[in-house]
Amino acid sequence: MSFQLLPAIALSLLLHAAVLWWNVVAFDFRPPPTPRLQASLQPPIRQLPASDESLLKDTLSTGDPSPAAATTPPRPTAATATSRAVARRQVEAAQRKLAQHLYYPPEAVARGIEGEVRLLLRLADDGRIVDVELAASSGHAILDQAAVKAAYAMGRAHWAQSRELILPVIFRLQ
């Protein structure tokens, strides 16, 4: 190695060390201070006046397309009233039978978890429960699983006239 390169190498090392040292000294590695939280109250949102025109329109009817005809709801017939009463009785009967098999999970009781689960029960012709699905979760898997297990434990729904039934299951602590 030539002795003429030694001063060049020394000068290069000195310059690199100076640049690195300047970067270390110039920058502060402490995290920036956290900004203080600020809160302000906003005035309540004013409710817009209700429009005379309904947001939902009946597009399937072949009758009068005027806005007045679209805003008037259809009158319930005796058939729909009886079908609603039958559906309500089916749900009440299913809830009574489900109450015999339903348990409140001890872990949910200890954690104070409450919720409402909606189950979709699929039934065979003879009333046997073929499938149980979550139609709406309670937001807590432990409650959802307890409701599904209880629905399967019901076995049969001999009172049901339909093939599908939406069953609300409510978990409330007293």
The string of pLDDT tens digits covering residues 130-164 is 899 999 999 999 999 999 998 888 887 777 677 88
Structure token pair of residue 123: 């039934």
Q: Which domains does the chain have, with CATH numbers?
A: 79-171 (3.30.1150.10)
What's the whole-number mean pLDDT along residues 100-108?
A: 86
Percent of the chain residues topping a pLDDT of 90: 11
Would you state the torsion angle of the CA atoms of residues 49, 51, 52, 54, taken in this order, to the nearest 10 degrees?
Answer: -140
Record the pTM.
Answer: 0.51
Distances in Å between the Cα of 23 and the Cα atoms of 15, 30, 43, 152 are: 13, 14, 50, 69
How many angstroms separate the CA atoms of 65 and 10, rounded?
A: 93
